[in-house]
Amino acid sequence: MDEKAILLVEDNPKDEALILRALKKNNIGNEVVVAHDGAEALAKLAEPNAALPQLVLLDLKLPKIDGLEVLQRIRADPRTRLLPVVILTSSTEESDRFRGYSFGANSYIRKPVDFTQFAEAVRQLGLYWLIMNEPPPFERKS
Amino acid sequence: MSNVPRNLLERYAVALKSHFTGPDDSALTRAYELGRAALNDGLGVLDMATLHAEALRLAAVEGSPATKPADADKAVEFFIESLSPFEMSLQGYRESNARLMAMNEALDQARIGTEAANRELESFSYSVAHDLRAPLRSIDGFSQALLEDYGEKLDDEARQYLRYLRESAQQMAQLIDDLLNLSRLARSELKREMVDLSALARDVVAKLSQREPGRQVAVTVQDGMTARGDQRLLRVVLENLLGNAWKFTGKRADATIVFGTAAIDGMVTYFIRDNGAGFDMAYADKLFGVFQRLHSGHEFEGTGVGLATVQRIVRRHGGSIRAEGAIDRGATFSFDLGEKVFGANRT
């Protein structure tokens, strides 16, 4: 994974296809690394000598380790604690939003059912987090 | 002496003495009556013992021959009889206590059951919210992908079918959201505070006209309307009722909506009146049922959950809601929040 990459943590292959499609349609050409469960996501972040992604798109309901726990572990690790994490989920349950922000999510977005809105959400997300937003300074291994 | 009333002591002493000397047991009836009087006066069993001892002493001073074993028996007999109202009352107390305990236990069981059911409902709603939406997103998303990538290879009819697919998926997503909100209402806590209904209504109307800036609607909101209720839930009420009025006047060039208050049957009543499509009063009782719609989706959009939600909120406030209308003559929804009119200036 290069340092412009997006780590997409998503277990539903159809949602994955739709997100990739929306990214492509909006000309967001960053490398997208997909993890299909929470454990895989943490493993990808822990790979030695690999750069950290520019953005993590995190689903909440995930096999093995759920999204909120992935988020907690990302924030607990000094190496990844500043990583921008955007929760991208179906749920708008108050408890999920509350815990998501409590555990240090940078943003919380509900996946719209309407693909036109979905694509627009992904476009704005990419524009904001990959272009407008200045990333935190990581101590990178040279 | 203790708190035994003097006159009770005297009556007791007289009756006790007549029991020593009387030819029959008629004085025992007096003992029972005196015991009941003492019980009603709030005296306890220990007061009775004091009373009995005092009365015995009085009888002795007055020269009663309470020395024979038979007299001692009679004294005990009299005492027991005077205590029997206490015994009976204790018995009744024990029984009602046992009944109360049983009822408490039943209530406890019911509470535990309700809590478990609520937890189950919560996790059920959660999976509904999360898991039912994912396939809908796929149906909508891939229909759109087909339209975009293969649209040229499809004829008009095929493209129309794909649009129907998308519409239905989005409609179902809306339904899921509405139903979830409805079920959350049942569980959320009611916080009563003073709510400025006039300001709330103006805010709701402003958002409606923002969404449809092309619409010309004459909205009149009475000034200074307040209510004691849950701010968040009352907003949902006004969003639905004003939103309906807005929606169902959509085919009127002279659309008019009035939100005001009046005293009806001694209750502070709020009404929202419009001159829109109205409805047939024959179906008035169906208006508030979940999924009940009096208009087809062709005429007006909607999921049929809004008024059910409104009614639930109004009832949770201890109030009620009614609808009046006629086809093409508009509709009036009146609701109260269980608050009675006080003072003429409230009307």
CB-CB neighbors (< 8 A) of B134 in chain A = 12, 14-15, 90
Which CATH architecture is the domain B190-346 placed in? 2-Layer Sandwich (3.30)
By the 10 Å C-beta count (0-12 exposed, 13-18 middle, 19+ buried), B101 is classed as exposed
Confidence band of B127 (pLDDT split at 50, 70, 90): confident
Other C-beta atoms lying within 10 Å of the C-beta of residue B220: 10
In this structure, are residues A3 and A52 in contact, taking their beta carbons and an 8 Å threshold? yes
Are residues A14 and B140, on separate chains, in Cβ contact within 8 Å? no
pLDDT greater than 90 at residue B57: no
Rounded to 5°, the CA angle B156-B250-B290 comes to 85
- Picking from B130, B140, B141, the nearest residue to A90 by CB comes out as B130
pTM of the prediction? 0.62
In this structure, are residues A21 and A46 in contact, taking their beta carbons and an 8 Å threshold? no
Q: Is CATH 1.10.645.10 correct for A6-132?
A: no
Rounded to 5°, the CA angle B85-B91-B95 comes to 145
Distance of alpha carbon B248 from alpha carbon B251, whole angstroms = 7
- Picking from B126, B145, B170, the nearest residue to A21 by CB comes out as B145
Distance of alpha carbon B105 from alpha carbon B220, whole angstroms = 54
Per-domain residue ranges of chain B: 6-97, 132-186, 190-346
The predicted structure's pLDDT at residue A142: 43
The predicted structure's pLDDT at residue B285: 78
Per-domain residue ranges of chain A: 6-132
For A10-74, give the DSSP string.
Answer: ---HHHHHHHHHHHHHTT--S-EEEESSHHHHHHHHH-TTPPPPSEEEE-SS-SSS-HHHHHHHH
pLDDT digits (tens, 9 = 90+) for B221-249: 999 999 999 998 999 999 999 999 999 99
* Range of lowest pLDDT (B9-13, B183-187, B342-346): B342-346
Cα Rg, chain B, nearest whole Å:
38
For B95-124, give the DSSP string.
Answer: HHHHHHHHHHHHHHHHHHHHHHHHHHHHHH
- Picking from A89, A93, A118, the nearest residue to B141 by CB comes out as A118
Distance of alpha carbon B48 from alpha carbon B34, whole angstroms = 10
The predicted structure's pLDDT at residue B140: 94
pLDDT digits (tens, 9 = 90+) for B255-314: 999 999 999 888 999 999 999 988 888 888 788 877 677 676 666 667 778 888 899 899
Q: Which among B122, B125, B130 is the top mutation candidate for probing chain A, defined by the most A β-carbons within 10 Å of its own β-carbon?
A: B130
Put simply, the chain B residues between 118 and 177 with a CB less than 8 A from any chain A CB are 126, 129-131, 133-134, 136-138, 140-145, 166, 169-170, 173
pLDDT greater than 50 at residue B345: no
Q: How close does chain A come to B124, measured CA to CA in Å?
A: 12
